Structure 1
């Protein structure tokens, strides 16, 4: 049965890339909103978890307010997918006009000084579009890491898609990602990592909106190992077709303490920067999975099917 489901999943994503990219942009946007509203009305596991996550971000929200926020969140999430399906056919001009980023001097200054850069982002808005914009704006390749997906053919689709946007993509497991990333940084390169959800179950504990969560320590460790600048990045949508972003100031390596202590301090600083962007635009945070440790404890699952997470 799992083989059938895997083939169906792969086929559906393939259909998205082959069909949605051919639609006029307004039609693709309408389709995304329709799918988002349908998924939201089903109240599946992903939507319910999204609301639980939003309840931490907006603790004073009423149940009705959280429901409306999750509806906006699902529309933002489907905007990500509709854009991603269409990105391979966007012109360089369309990509460059579709993003505005403040604080890019933090990136260019570090690169000009011969330092590598670790750009760390949460699951806000469309990081694939941001990556395509960086590749177009800076005219340099950069390296990222992708979660291995099942089936393998689907993972291969995402690798090919992101490589087509100008990224070098390393698998999160089954390889030597950390060593390759460190080499790229020592050569003065750019590494971009989505870093608000720990995939290893052994991440760094942080205080996140007043509760304990775990986030990956990799960005902080890479900065310590290589001397690269560690830069938090937050993104947001607004009512225009333009996605806006902010590169935050570099997170310094603490002068004292051992490696675990330094990693903890730096990862907490990342979490704090992520929280500012998420609090300002919670609807653009596409976290349909469990994040806080309280939610990771065993608990009964809702019976309805889950909406998928973003790879």
Structure 2
């Protein structure tokens, strides 16, 4: 798909979907999800391969039902993100329920920075809007998309929700240095970080198999004294629910690399429990475990920006951090 078509696909979503009656829009996106699920394209097959690790005892029919629910959850994320600009503050407050918010608010009130790290669960854009509306604007990082005006619209959209968005490249900003500065200032940084697109991530055990996750969240917290708070999100009927988990402590023993590895594993363990409880809301349609990857392939694939987009819409993941903190933010669903 050309850059022009990619841009207009997004522009159509923003311009049209937010004005449709909500029941109509949800019906359309459920049908799109079911269509993609029935086609059993490579991304749906990969989703099912990932879900087999999460629920290894499922029979094939149950796995297919779970992957269908997963596709509907994934398309729900996109529908809500397109419609979010017209959601009122009251609507956000009504439809988002976050447990454990005191871990965030108490830490920030003490003057310490917070790095909230979450996997690709639920709707991280909506959760970020809720956090900002609670009086906690935050900083995140996004891959520079092509075409440039598409990237600008994404930045404008997220900044309108109360996010400071740092461009991974081309912005003339030291991204890692800026994140560290924000944390030292006692502010909030939010990053999606369950996939590592480099070959420099930390190897962890996840559902009993090795994969890599970015070292950046743990490393940044050690560097700045900020608190590392894992977050999990899931859907519960019309409501987006979430949990801000207690701080992952810095181990007292070991060198910095060993402490980073231990913190990253502890963060992965929290996410594993959350995903095990709500597997349909983990939007992992890419290769994830090392066993699935050719020796030269990184988790999530090579150049995400270069992938062709296919229906229902091309995707650009929000709240992603600069490598090595987390993965780039431009990628087509390819379902």
Select which of 240, 244, 247 maps to 1:243: 240
- 2:270 matched to 1:273? yes
Q: Is the 8 A contact 1:143 1:181 kept in 2?
A: yes
Deviations 1:20-55 (A, max 9, x none): 011121111111101101111111111111111111
Q: Is the 8 A contact 1:287 1:309 kept in 2?
A: no
Q: CA 1:148–1:212 in 2, change beyond 3 Å: closer, same or farther?
A: farther
Secondary structure, counterpart of 2:248 in structure 1: coil
Shift of 1:7: 1.6
Aligned-residue Cα RMSD (Å) equals 2.0
Secondary structure, counterpart of 2:32 in structure 1: helix
- 2:213 matched to 1:215? yes
- 2:308 matched to 1:296? no
Select which of 120, 123, 126 maps to 2:123: 126
Runs of at least 4 residues of structure 1 off by over 4 A? 304-310
Structure 1 match to 2:36: 39
Q: TM-score normalised to the size of structure 1?
A: 0.93
Q: How does 1:164-179 map to 2 (within 5 A)?
A: 164-174=160-170, 175-179=173-177
Q: Is the 8 A contact 2:118 2:192 kept in 1?
A: yes
Deviations 1:32-85 (A, max 9, x none): 101101111111111111111111101111222221111110000011001000
Structure having the higher helix fraction is: 1
Shift of 1:173: 4.1
Partner Cα separation in structure 2 for residue 44 and residue 160 of structure 1: 33
Structure 2 match to 1:194: 192
Q: CA 1:130–1:277 in 2, change beyond 3 Å: closer, same or farther?
A: same
Q: Which runs of 5 or more structure 2 residues have no equivalent in the other structure?
A: 302-307, 318-335
Structure 2 match to 1:82: 79
- 2:18 matched to 1:16? no
Q: Which runs of 5 or more structure 1 residues have no equivalent in the other structure?
A: none
Q: How does 1:94-105 map to 2 (within 5 A)?
A: 94-105=91-102
Partner Cα separation in structure 2 for residue 206 and residue 275 of structure 1: 11
